[in-house]
C-alpha cells in the first residue's frame, strides 16, 4: 500500500506522461464530512419512504412532516461531500471557508487499495450556471447537483469503501447518454476500435451502424463520422493506457464498477489487452493482473438509477454488498 503523498506524486507523473490533468478525471471516495452511517440514518428515519437524498444534507429537503429537518444540532448539519482539497466551492450557500479544507494528499496515511471504483464517463452538465465539477479532484464530489453524489456515497457507505481511488473507464468523454457512449466505443464482440487501421474505415463503420448516421449518404455525414472515428480511437487508446496505469499505481485487490455498460467497456479493454499486448509497452505480468481484475470485477447498479433512498439502501445492503467475494481478489505482481 502507498501513502497519499506517494500516490499524488504518481498522479502528477501520469498527468505529465499522458498530457492530461488527473485532477479532472479521477478522485478518491473521501468526503470533507461523510454521510451518517446507514444504521444511523435508519434510526433517524424509521420510515425511509419519507427520505430523499437531499434530506441527508445540511439544507434538508423535507417532503413529509414525519421526517425531521436537519439543523445545527444533528449529524446532517455538517454533511459535506466535497473532496478534502482546497478549492473554490461553487455553492454560495456553503458556509465553510474552503481555503481551510484539509489537503487529502498532505498526509502519510495510506490509500485504501482494497477496491478501485470505476464509472463509465463524465456526465454532461447542461446548466450554464453550474461550474464544472471536474477540477481539483472534485470528480464524484459534485457540490452543486448534489442528489446523485449523495446516492453514490449511500451506495458505498461502509468503512471498507472509504479512501479508495475512483475514476472513469473512458476519459475526456462528456456525455449523459450511456447507450450512445457504448455504441461509439464498444463495437461488439467481433469489433474493436483498435481493429480499424485508418479513420476512413472506422468512419464507414459508424456511418453504417450508428443510429445518428445510419441511412445518411450526404458528404457531411462522411466527414462527421471520419472525425468522430479519429477522436474516439484516440480517446479509447488514452483511456486504455491510463486505466492500466491507474491499476498499476493503486494496485487494487478488486474492481467495483457502476453499471453494466461500464463492465462492457472494461471487457472490451480486456480483449484488446490480450490481443495487443506487444503494443502496450507494459510488463506482461501487470497486464495479466489487470485482466484478472476485469475478470473478477463486481458490478454495482449505477447510483443515479435509484429513484428511492429506501430502494437504494435495501438493495445495497441485501444484494450489492453481499455480492463481493474475497476469493476473487487479485494480487499485484512483485
Give residue 94's pLDDT: 47
Helices (H), 19-161: 38-44, 147-155
Give residue 163's pLDDT: 97
> Does residue 9 lie in a domain region?
yes
**pLDDT > 90: percent of the chain:** 59
Give residue 129's pLDDT: 44
Cell of 65: 412532516
For residue 3, what pLDDT band results from cuts at 50, 70 and 90? very high
Residue written as cell 467475494? 325
> Does residue 199 lie in a domain region?
yes
Taking all residues of the chain, what is their mean pLDDT, rounded to a whole number? 88
Give residue 287's pLDDT: 97
- State how far Cα 52 lies from the chain centre: 22
pLDDT digits (tens, 9 = 90+) for 129-177: 444 444 689 999 988 788 999 999 999 999 999 999 999 999 988 888 8
Instruction: Quote the pTM value.
Output: 0.91
Distance separating alpha carbons of residues 261 and 276, to the nearest angstrom = 22
Give residue 98's pLDDT: 56
Cell of 103: 489537503
Count of Cβ atoms closer than 10 Å to residue 186 Cβ: 20
Element (H, E) at 209: helix 199-209
> Does residue 210 lie in a domain region?
yes
> Does residue 315 lie in a domain region?
yes
Distance separating alpha carbons of residues 52 and 62, to the nearest angstrom = 8
Answer whether 122's CB lies under 8 Å from 13's CB. Answer: no
> Does residue 61 lie in a domain region?
no
Mean pLDDT across 305-318: 95
pLDDT digits (tens, 9 = 90+) for 44-101: 888 888 788 988 988 776 655 556 677 778 889 889 999 998 866 555 454 444 556 7
Q: What is the number of domains present in the chain?
A: 1
Element (H, E) at 164: strand 164-168
Looking at the DSSP assignment, which residues form a beta bridge with residue 28? 165
> Does residue 307 lie in a domain region?
yes
Domain that holds residue 281: 4-30+109-328
Number of H helices, E strands in the chain: 9, 5
Residues 6+ apart with CB under 8 A from 67: 45, 47, 50, 51, 55
For residue 197, what pLDDT band results from cuts at 50, 70 and 90? confident
Mean pLDDT across 293-314: 95
Distance separating alpha carbons of residues 186 and 192, to the nearest angstrom = 7
Answer whether 53's CB lies under 8 Å from 62's CB. Answer: no
> Does residue 271 lie in a domain region?
yes
Helix, strand, or coil here: 114? strand
Count of Cβ atoms closer than 10 Å to residue 307 Cβ: 10
> Does residue 291 lie in a domain region?
yes
Give residue 180's pLDDT: 86
End-to-end alpha carbon distance in the chain: 13
Mean pLDDT across 103-109: 92
Amino acid at each position: 500500500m502507498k501513502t497519499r503523498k506517494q500516490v499524488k506524486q504518481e498522479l502528477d507523473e501520469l498527468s505529465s506522461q499522458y498530457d492530461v490533468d488527473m485532477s479532472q478525471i479521477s478522485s478518491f471516495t473521501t468526503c470533507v464530512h461523510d454521510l451518517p452511517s446507514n444504521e444511523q440514518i435508519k434510526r433517524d428515519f424509521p420510515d425511509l419512504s419519507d427520505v430523499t437524498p437531499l434530506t441527508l444534507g445540511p439544507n434538508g429537503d423535507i417532503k413529509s412532516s414525519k421526517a425531521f429537518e436537519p439543523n445545527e444540532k444533528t449529524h446532517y448539519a455538517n454533511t459535506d461531500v466535497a473532496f478534502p482539497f482546497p478549492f473554490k466551492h461553487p455553492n454560495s450557500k456553503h458556509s465553510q471557508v474552503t481555503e481551510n479544507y484539509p489537503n487529502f494528499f498532505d498526509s502519510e496515511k495510506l490509500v485504501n487499495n482494497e477496491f478501485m471504483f470505476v464509472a463509465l464517463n463524465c456526465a454532461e452538465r447542461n446548466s450554464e450556471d453550474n461550474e464544472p465539477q471536474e477540477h481539483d479532484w472534485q470528480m464524484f464530489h459534485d457540490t452543486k447537483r448534489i442528489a446523485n453524489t449523495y446516492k453514490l456515497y449511500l451506495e458505498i457507505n461502509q468503512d471498507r469503501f472509504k479512501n479508495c481511488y475512483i475514476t472513469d473507464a473512458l476519459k475526456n468523454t462528456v456525455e449523459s447518454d450511456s447507450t450512445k457512449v457504448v455504441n461509439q466505443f464498444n463495437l461488439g464482440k467481433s469489433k474493436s476500435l483498435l481493429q480499424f487501421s485508418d479513420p476512413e474505415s472506422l468512419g464507414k463503420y459508424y456511418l453504417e451502424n450508428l443510429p445518428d448516421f445510419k441511412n445518411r449518404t450526404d458528404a457531411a455525414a462522411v466527414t462527421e463520422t471520419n472525425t468522430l472515428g479519429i477522436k474516439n480511437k484516440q480517446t479509447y487508446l488514452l483511456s486504455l493506457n491510463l486505466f492500466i496505469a491507474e491499476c498499476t499505481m493503486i494496485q487494487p485487490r478488486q474492481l467495483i464498477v457502476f453499471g453494466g455498460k461500464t463492465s462492457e467497456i472494461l471487457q472490451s479493454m480486456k480483449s484488446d489487452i490480450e490481443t495487443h499486448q506487444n503494443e502496450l509497452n507494459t510488463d506482461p505480468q501487470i497486464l495479466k493482473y489487470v485482466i484478472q481484475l476485469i475478470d473478477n470485477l463486481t458490478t454495482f447498479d449505477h447510483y443515479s438509477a435509484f429513484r428511492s433512498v429506501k430502494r437504494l439502501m435495501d438493495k445495497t445492503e441485501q444484494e450489492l454488498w453481499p455480492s463481493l467475494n474475497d476469493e476473487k481478489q487479485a494480487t499485484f505482481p512483485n
